Amino acid sequence: MRRNKEDLDREIEGIILEISAAENTAEFTQLYQDTSDELRRLLVRKMGNKEEAEEIAQDAYLKLCRLKHNRDIGNLRSYLFNMAVRLAINVLRKREADGRQDYLQPAEEEGPSAYKILVDELKAETIKDALTHLSEKTRYIFLLHRFEGLSYSAIAKRLTVSDRSVEDHINRALDKIMLATAEFRRMEGQGYGH
């Protein structure tokens, strides 16, 4: 029985993945074992297509394997999931550009496309990640202002600091968020953020 090219390619990629994982430490192998099912389920939910989801998951693992400096990545799991979601966004963007709305938005439903939902989720995740990299005090002040609705002066009184100090902390947080979300603004500027 003759195998088709796609099956052969997947088998070769699987072998490369196994070899790379062996070379890239037991940590990577453990990551694959711990996350492969969860990642595939996430991608199937977002993509609406099991074959594409599996292909994207495989691509994400392969790309992570091929990174020469993956030890410099603080959180491999988070990096892997972000990479997979970005690959999914690229596929959804291509679908949208090709006019393949069948996967993006069923005709009987109104609302945002799968692409838009995925981009929004990734953007929210990126903002959360940016907030975790702030100092505890800056994050606390930012959250008091944005989510509790406290004014600068109310925060200053609560923390016994100056209004100017509160403003500096909030500006620092906003700068970090703006830097982290720059890619999304570029995508929106190019007409990808419907």
CATH of the domain at 146: 1.10.10
pLDDT in tens, the chain (194 residues): 455 666 666 666 666 556 555 555 667 777 878 888 888 888 888 778 888 888 898 888 878 777 755 556 666 777 788 788 888 888 877 877 776 554 444 444 556 666 677 778 778 877 887 888 899 999 999 999 998 999 999 999 999 999 999 999 999 999 998 888 887 777 666 554 44
Are residues 146 and 95 part of one domain?
Answer: no
191 near 157, Cβ under 8 Å?
no
Burial string for 147-157 (b: 16+ CB within 10 Å, else e) reads: eeebebeebbe
pTM: predicted TM-score of the whole model, two decimal places: 0.50
What size, in residues, is the chain? 194
Question: In terms of domains, do 22 and 101 share one?
Answer: yes
Residues 61 and 99 reside in one and the same domain: yes
**What range does the domain containing 167 cover?**
133-194
Phi, psi at 93, each rounded to 5° = -60, -40
Instruction: Give the pLDDT of residue 114.
Output: 67
Q: 13 and 86: one domain?
A: yes
Residues 149 and 96 grouped into a single domain: no
And the tokens for 154?
A: 């109310």
Question: Per the structure, how many domains does the chain have?
Answer: 2
* Gap between the Cα atoms of 128 and 89, Å rounded: 19
Residue 124 lies in a domain: no
Confidence at residue 46, expressed as pLDDT on a 0 to 100 scale: 78
Rounded (10°) CA dihedral 148, 152, 155, 159: 150
Within a domain: 126: no
